[in-house]
Amino acid sequence: MNVDKPWVSWFDDCRREMVEQVGGKCSSLGELINAGIRVPPGFAITVAGYEHFMAQNKVLDEIDVMLKGVDPQDIATLEEISLKIRNKIEQMPIDTEFEDQIAEFYRKLSVRSCMPAVAVAIRSSATAEDLPGASFAGQQDTFLWVRGIDDVLAHVRRCISSLFTGRAIAYRIDMGFDHRQVGISVGIQKMANSFAAGVMFTLNPSNGDRSSIVVDSNFGFGESVVSGEVTPDQFRINKVSMEVLNRVISDKEICYTVDPKTQVSIKTEVPEERRKVQSVTDKELVELAKLGKLIEQHYGCPMDIEWAVDKDMPEGGNIFILQARPETVWSNKAAEVVSTVEGSSAMDHILSSMMAGKKVK
């Protein structure tokens, strides 16, 4: 192993300029930790680790042959090739030295978390996934509530194999990315035992208004919100006054949570009496908005943020940031003046006009 290119690295040692080494997700998590943002601890299997794993099993040349001349519009053939590649990767061995390193980092993470065989989220972190102007995010897999080193290793392989989903292959071909040039890192992060979770935008994603923060929320893990399986509660918060300007409480039929018997993540129905209950408190919304502003100020651009409220932690220290990446739809557009809507204040109009560089009459 080249000591300058470690196979495994703590999030604490990652920075946002390390996208080529640990991918967009892991580099961002390290950046947040070093900026003082509350993030569950974890470590990254680096791109060098991925390259070592692929080289040891001598599989890249075979993948090149399988993908040569494939038509990204031929979905059936693409999925057939993808399945063959993924099955091969998921059955490949991890050599002893590399496996020992992953196991040792997982052991230390468990000790640090004061929990034997700590439950972790295993998240793919591709080198091009969170780049402004590209939309690679979400193309690779995430696995929740994984426990024990054997399951961790199995899901690391599954994360790596998800670099070759049919969708990801087609997108790289369409965007002109060489399959070998897009590496992958895998983040292993302590699970937040979420009472509620979701996403937050430090602008209004419906119109680009930068004077507002929008929070989408559901009970349980954030997977139901990110995947679009549920219509979440939605809240709009004024960035200056921290006033909740608008709230839409949805009928939230399902959520993801941990099965207390099997200790695995499951999709479950929300009890009828809870479906239309606000999933996150106003106090938590204000705390989220404050964190969102800090993250936006640190990065210098509007952000797309995943968060969770941990039911095992006391109030005041129970909100965690799970991921943050630049918002890609509105960030490169000039902010436009938006008309005042119900529940908005004059300050909204003033701020959005100022950010558009226009005078307010």
Does 174 map to a domain? yes
> Phi and psi at residue 325, in whole multiples of 5°?
-145, 155
| Alpha-helical segments (H) within the chain | 19-34, 47-56, 60-67, 75-90, 96-112, 149-161, 166-175, 223-226, 282-299, 346-355
Looking at residue 12, its pLDDT comes to: 97
Domain harbouring 281, CATH code: 3.30.470.20
In eight-state DSSP terms, residue 321 is: E
Looking at residue 356, its pLDDT comes to: 39
- Tell whether 145 and 217 lie within a shared domain: no
Looking at residue 343, its pLDDT comes to: 42
Looking at residue 139, its pLDDT comes to: 52
Q: How many domains does the chain have?
A: 2
- Tell whether 221 and 102 lie within a shared domain: no
In eight-state DSSP terms, residue 269 is: E
- Tell whether 201 and 158 lie within a shared domain: no
State which of 190, 210, 227 marks the end of a domain: 190
Looking at residue 3, its pLDDT comes to: 60
Looking at residue 260, its pLDDT comes to: 82
Q: What are 71-118's pLDDT values in tens digits?
A: 999 999 999 999 999 999 999 999 999 999 999 999 999 999 999 999
Looking at residue 352, its pLDDT comes to: 43
- Tell whether 17 and 121 lie within a shared domain: yes
- Tell whether 221 and 158 lie within a shared domain: no
State which of 162, 190, 218 marks the end of a domain: 190
- Domain of residue 102 covers 8-190
Q: Buried (b) or exposed (e) across 11-29, using 16+ Cβ within 10 A?
A: beebebebbebbbbbbbbb
Q: Are 203 and 210 in contact (CB under 8 A)?
A: yes
* Cα separation, 71 vs 150, whole angstroms: 37
Give the residue ranges of the chain where pLDDT is below 50: 130-138, 335-361
